[in-house]
Amino acid sequence: MALQCGIVGLPNVGKSTLFNALTESSIPAENYPFCTIEPHLGIVELPDPRLGDLGKIYNPKKIIHATVEFTDIAGLVRGASKGEGLGNKFLGQIRQTAAIIHVVRCFEDDNVTHVEGSVNPIRDAETIETELLLADLETLEKRHRKTEKTARTGDKIAVKELDLVNRLLKHCNEGHRARTLPVNDPDERKLLHTLHLLTSKPILYIANVDENEIMKNERNNHVQDLFDFAEKEGNSAIRICASIEQEISVLPEEEKELFLSEYNLPEPGLHKVIHAGFGLLDLQTFFTCGEQEVRAWTIPMGATAPKAAGEIHTDFERGFIKAEIFQYEDIIKHGSEKALSELGLIRQEGKQYIVKDGDCIFFKFNV
């Protein structure tokens, strides 16, 4: 499963600049509202140095990274759910994503216009949150009308769905996000997932700061306010200078480290976004290794061996027999599968095994 993230924010907060940096693409990022008028999709390789290390051992024909998909839509404005601006037209493009990246401007600059006239991260964040919530209410009302008709026929699934939709409508009309509604029944959780509600997704807030701010260890008041807001909402926040990240993204590899050191940055912002996204969604990586290819795969924390096998192909999960597993650290230390076998470090695991980050797995199956 690729990590899928939708990027939202007000116009002129640095969304498209960040997207350009993340995807090393060159969509417009001009200083006026609605510059991005079409949704943009970028597919990025997940940075993981472990793949390079495994490649040195196996010398495969191909090394394949896991991927991250970013969708950037037009800036949302107050009233977007009622048709204001252009962003509302593209909200459907991010309903299928697993998480939302919300870019919030946290720097002062008279040369960069702000649609609200001033920089206020909490107000801006709440504006977007409100528009997402209103868009969800519209979705729920449409679903209610459709489900109510079917429920009248006595259809048990429709009756159950109607009950969930009614509770969601009440919950969201009171100003609460869909993900804060208690849903314990597994069938209801599946139904909730099929609704693709925007406020059911976890949010990674990105505090977009200027070049001076990113070099400081302390957060300015705007950034701290946003971090506190994210924590209160049960979400995450990181600090990035999108303009610097865009500069870094187009540099030759040998120059990137020097540029990062000049700004006292330990890693590119892309890595920070990926790591934060993985933490937000409780994701991890396992590897398949051989002479043909070394490949990384993304799965949820707590996934069983058959579920991991299913990421490769549904037949692998359906016909799962067992998995041969060793850890990345062990093969790096000992240098070959033969050495691991002699040391008894390759295990046979069955259907109940919970895959761990860094597992190298060979699946055996029969269909």
Residues 338-348: tens digit of each pLDDT: 999 999 999 99
Q: Report yes or no: 362 and 288 within 8 Å, Cβ to Cβ.
A: yes
Question: Does the pLDDT value for residue 194 go beyond 80?
Answer: yes
Mean pLDDT of 125-138: 90
Predicted TM-score (pTM) above 0.85: no
Q: Please give the pLDDT value at position 88.
A: 54
Closest of 208, 220, 279 to residue 246, by C-alpha? 208
Mean pLDDT of 324-340: 97
- Cα–Cα distance between 62 and 51 in angstroms, integer? 11
Q: Please give the pLDDT value at position 31.
A: 40
For the segment 353-363, what is each residue's pLDDT rounded down to a tens digit?
A: 999 999 999 99
Question: Does the pLDDT value for residue 36 go beyond 60?
Answer: no
- Rg of the chain's alpha carbons, rounded to an integer? 23
Question: Does the pLDDT value for residue 2 go beyond 70?
Answer: no
Q: Please give the pLDDT value at position 13.
A: 86
Distances from the Cα of 16 to the Cα of 4, 130, 315, angstroms: 17, 22, 39
